[in-house]
Structure 1
Amino acid sequence: MSAPTRACVCAFTALALVCLGSASSDEPVGQREVTFDIRQVMKETHRPEEDFLQREMDLSEILADFKETHRPEDFLQRELDPSEFLGDIKDEPSPGFSPRASRPHDVVPALQYNVQFPLARPSSANIGSICLHGDHRPRYPKSFFPVSGFGVHKREGDAVNTLEAWFTTCCGQNQTEEALLCCATQAWEKSIKHFCKVGFSIKAPHFHCCKRNSSEVLPCFDSSAPNPDYNPSEELPVQPVPPKAKFNFDPSSCPETSVTPLNIREGKKGNKEKKQATSLKVDLDFPLAVPTDSNVESICRNLKLRPRYNTKCLKGLSYKLVAHQAQSINHLEKGFKLCCRKKEGVLPCVQQSWRQEMNKFCSSCKSKSIDFPCCDDGVKFECFESLSKDPYYNKTDSLSLSDVCDTHKIIMKRSLVGFPLKSVVNKCCHLSPTERSACVPQSVKELFEATCSSRKSPRPAVRLCCRLSSAECFNKVLMGAITKASAQKNKKRCPVS
């Protein structure tokens, strides 16, 4: 017999004896025979023993049941197993409590603090978006995170804030696309080194790319980027966050090209002070490559497709070197034109023209006190050969949709298209060349949709594009107008924008 059963039996036995004693005070209790069925009594006042012991009960149910049917001392006499009332608590903990916590706390979803990290390596394919959509990508100020916790995400957010601020510095400088890309790449690499260095200096989980071999760290970060094209993801412009580290662009570490500012020496002879030239947005390829058997055909075939330059726009000390380079290219292209008219001996002729022009260029640099690396201590032809960026003369003055900014007046005056270009011009043509190249295609697409949805009937060529729902067809119509307008314009362009 179990302990609870024994307790109940004893209690009822004592109760029966007291009742009998009070009923008859004349007779001794021990002399009277008392008969009762203990099983019947327990059946009427209690649930079966096996039900009570085997059934899983809630603590509140146990207390309520004993409050109604038992005296307090009965409840105290029963031995309770803690598993009977703690089982449910262990299985379904309260969302406001932690098993080891001393006080309740809020449960914060981790996804609420997701950070778009890391950022991709800048390239010629995404540098336009980096600058154009910088204020429509997320930032992570202190208010984005709770006061405590989320240390890993906070460091990632700081890295994004810092690099985006450095990108803004690069995009705000007046420099060519090559120099802009070099600046952005330097900023990206420095931000990664800083992020990994900070991570290893503290006791915290490390980003997996930081633990790679030195040669694999940068490719790992680049391949892990969630937004490699730097597309905008924020509807409204975001507020910039000041960077926690400084960044200074070093142009000397970029590939040596004509877009890198050179030192110009001014003053009388003997004055060794050099003044750094102003950083310019130069659209000029200097020097032209040395003529060879492999490129002489391209020299003559693409003669009319290569640009010529207007030097009247280049005034002032800052433009001195650029003006000198532009004049040299114009002279050399003129010499090439004369050589290409010959039926025989074209290669020796163009080679001689090239060497003569390089000699003239260095002589002029000396007389104008201009420093150029290939002209130190006389002309160095091998140096000029190594600086050329188009050894096969394949790069031509090709047109793009962005040229609508230079030709839109002629296009509209000659009615070369049957739709207005004012919206594209107002939206994009005041931007820098890099931003303009990303803005114009999108604006032309919007113009195509507006033209086709208008009640006004467009010209047959445009009407066909609308019928086909082809934006590419619409672009071809506009490119045809740009080509015609460029031929009518037929002017030398300024090598500095």
Structure 2
Amino acid sequence: MTAPIWASLYSAALALVLLGSASSDDYFIDEHVVPSPQQPLEEEMPPGMDIMQRELDLSELLVGLKEGPVAFSPRASRPRAFVPVSKYDVQFPLALPTAQNIQNICLHGFRRPRYPESYFPSSGYGVSKRQADAVNTLEAWFVTCCIRGQTEEARLCCAIQAWEKSISHFCEVGFRIKAPQFYCCKLNKSEWLPCFDRSAQNPEYNPTEDSPVQPVLTENKFNFDPSSCPGASLTPQSIRDGKRGEKKSATPLNVDLDFPLAAPTDSNIGSVCRNLKVRPHYNIKCLKGLDQVALQAKSINTLEKNFKVCCKNNNKERILPCAQKTWQEEMKKFCVASKHKRIDFPCCDGGVQFECFKNISTDPDYSKTLTKNLSLSNMCDTHKIITKKFSVGVPLKSVVRKCCHLSPIEKSTCIAQSVEELFVSTCSSRKSPPSVKRCCRLSSPECFHKLLMDAIIKATSRQKKKICPVS
């Protein structure tokens, strides 16, 4: 048989083998399971920019290979074009907070995506993981702004600061670790903010999840600086133009209120009961016109009262279940009351979310007490109780008369100096009180200071004075 005939037969046989093998699921992708080319790439590009103009993460190029090799079309001998598609989409970046979307930011926070570690494979997808971490961090900061900000202006100012810090951190870390950069970070630094804002997929911060998502904790810290709030003149246009308004809004109220109280657990139930008498209780009368603060303070007072009942239980095994039940019931009541007062609290979106309340508590160990930040200056408020109930045998009135009418800084200096003089004069006396004799033998002013501070702490606990959380 001639060579041309052999060549023709060989080609025909090869074509039949290839066509038969194309139907095998073991080696080739079926046409109907090819990933949709409409699914977004790992880093979205603005319209008109070619994908070849940016750096790609290696995992982005390999994602299609995990399904199998390239398939041949049953009707053609040429393979279909390979389309690199990310299965692990991240809604990045987030848009600039504005007066128009700040309500959605706070109201629908837990109906927007979060990306826990389990969302991604253990290896690869470095670019998407960095973007996901940026989204998780900023959403966590938004929750802080929505809870701490007592007015919409304060929430907006806080959210803008968080957004700007998030962008700067994302780009600067990328440059530091020499990772493939998001295209906005490659622009001049002054152009970062408008570029990120234009690239946002959900500029209105609308809810995109059918049910509330679990928050993802972040180690990155954010501290809101209300003194730098530019007020109503801060608009999306001013951000895009790189301009800041000159007017500043009134500084938001300084609220010292740790809401919500942490969920009782095996590890903190001891502190829950032990520190009952020295944790703050709040005066609701001073909070007129501050619905959100008043509602939070009232919730804390009620919960502390119920904790007291639980902690008196003679059966220790029942204390924790009792505390956990009363905590859940109070969080439910808070969410119901917040709706009646038209307060948008993130953890009440779609019903009470216990996991949300657990994760946003600022004092999970119940370690913050009225006595934690006490100093000798508190003698001015407690000297009468100390003299009556916890006397250390020294004339504190002399210190009070000399120092307590002064300004805070002068008062602190005056008391420290007067206490030292009091210690010297007491030890020089032949009739020094027994409680102070040990300190005199040691010639230790620190010992004497400790005696006074112990008395101040006991007196503060005995006062049971309700404080106003707003200064």
TM-score range (shorter-chain normalised) is: 0.3 to 0.5
Larger radius of gyration: 1
Q: TM-score, normalised by structure 2?
A: 0.40
